[in-house]
């Protein structure tokens, strides 16, 4: 199997603060990898470096056979980014636009934008997929937290990305909505066969979505395994994640 994502020795510091310390990981084509880590460990920094929202200091990122850190800023980088979806922790819906305009926004602005009919169809399609068909005219402020996440997910999926990044998809949601979103992510991944990288500290989300889990500590990957393997492990540091997510319930 091919590696859709490969990160090698990635480092990033802010001044004296070393956040990523030669971190390496990879995701197979079609696989879902969950990166677990405590709040503030640098999970967001990691995926932001991978998509060039932040410029890493050192290392190599290879996504879909492209050497990401060497893509020139501008049209080429935009073209690469259209193949990749990103769900922000906050959802990051455009709050001056309706749900429909939010969904149309990236689609209409591609150099080879689809026909109007195709756009309308894809908006309806993707909204149905996340179970919110009747929200087209709503403004983001009128939506609940869980609905916002769903619309944000729809907005990423409408571009039919080959790779999806999720930044804490369940943080800030109640346990029931969290489970719903986690299941939706799994469903969407099966439907579109997207390679996914999910970062979270929510073990329940990892249990539902992950094919494989890695744990991040002090700027590197400390442990790797499946959900069940990690559950069997009696390292107290690993077990803390399991008890943490029970506390949330």
Partner 1 sequence: MYMRTDALPASVKDFLVGLAGITQFAGKFFRNFWRPPFEIREVFYHAYSLGQKSLLLVGITGLIIGMVMTIQMRPTMEQFGATSWLPAMVSISIIREIGPVLTALICAGKIGSTIGAELGSMKVTEQIDAMTVSGTNPFNYLVTTRVLAVTIMVPLLTIYADIIALFGSYAAMNLEGSVSFKLFIDQSLGSLLFSDMVPALIKSFFFGFAIALVSCHQGFTADRGTSGVGKAANTAVVISSLFVFVIDLLAVQITQLIIS
Question: Using CB under 5 A as the criterion, which residues of the chain lie in contact with Mg ion when the complex forms?
Answer: 44
Directed axis angle between helix 116-129 and helix 99-108, to 10°? 130
Which H/E stretch holds residue 206? Answer: helix 203-209
Residue 42 touches which of partner 1, ligand ADP, Mg ion, none (Cβ within 5-8 Å per kind): ligand ADP
CA atoms of 66 and 5, how far apart (whole Å):
9
Q: Are 85 and 78 in contact (CB under 8 A)?
A: no
Q: State the residue number with the nearest CB to Mg ion.
A: 44
Stretch that binds ligand ADP, among 40-48, 73-81, 174-182, 189-197 (CB under 6 A): 40-48
How many other CB atoms are there within 10 angstroms of residue 153's CB atom?
Answer: 24
Stretch that binds ligand ADP, among 37-45, 119-127, 181-189, 234-242 (CB under 6 A): 37-45
Out of 19, 25, 173, 203, name the contact with ligand ADP by CB under 6 A.
19
Residues in contact with partner 1 by CB under 8 A are: 48, 51, 53, 78-82, 84, 86, 88-90, 92-95, 105-106, 108-111, 155-156, 159
- Taking Cα atoms as reference points, which of 89, 85, 69 lies closest to residue 77? 69
The sign of the torsion formed by the CA atoms of 52, 153, 95, 120 equals positive
Residue 11 touches which of ligand ADP, Mg ion, partner 1, none (Cβ within 5-8 Å per kind): none
Residue 40 touches which of ligand ADP, partner 1, Mg ion, none (Cβ within 5-8 Å per kind): ligand ADP
How much of the chain is helix, strand and coil, in % rounded to 5?
A: 40, 25, 30
Which residues form the interface with ligand ADP (CB under 6 A)?
Answer: 14, 19, 37, 39-45
């Amino acid at each position: 199997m091919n590696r859709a994502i490969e990160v090698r020795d990635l480092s990033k510091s802010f001044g004296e603060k070393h956040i990523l310390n030669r971190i390496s990981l990879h995701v197979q084509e079609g696989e879902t990898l969950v990166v677990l880590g405590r709040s503030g460990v640098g999970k967001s920094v990691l995926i932001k470096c991978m998509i060039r929202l932040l410029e890493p200091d050192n290392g190599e990122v290879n996504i879909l056979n492209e050497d990401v850190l060497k893509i020139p800023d501008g049209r080429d980088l935009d073209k690469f980014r259209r193949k990749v979806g990103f769900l922000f922790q906050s959802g990051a819906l455009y709050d001056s636009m309706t749900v429909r305009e939010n969904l149309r926004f990236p689609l209409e602005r591609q150099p080879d934008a689809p026909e109007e009919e195709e756009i309308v169809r894809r908006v309806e399609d993707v909204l149905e997929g996340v179970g919110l068909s009747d929200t087209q005219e709503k403004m983001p402020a009128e939506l609940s937290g869980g609905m916002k996440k769903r619309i944000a997910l729809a907005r990423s999926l409408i571009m039919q990305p080959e790779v999806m990044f999720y930044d804490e998809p369940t943080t800030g949601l109640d346990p029931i909505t969290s489970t719903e979103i986690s299941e939706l992510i799994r469903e969407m991944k099966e439907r579109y066969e997207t390679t996914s990288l999910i970062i979270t500290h929510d073990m329940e989300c990892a249990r539902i979505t992950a094919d494989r889990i890695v744990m991040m500590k002090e700027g590197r990957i400390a442990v790797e395994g499946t959900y069940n393997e990690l559950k069997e492990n009696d390292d107290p540091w690993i077990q803390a994640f399991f008890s943490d997510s029970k506390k949330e319930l």
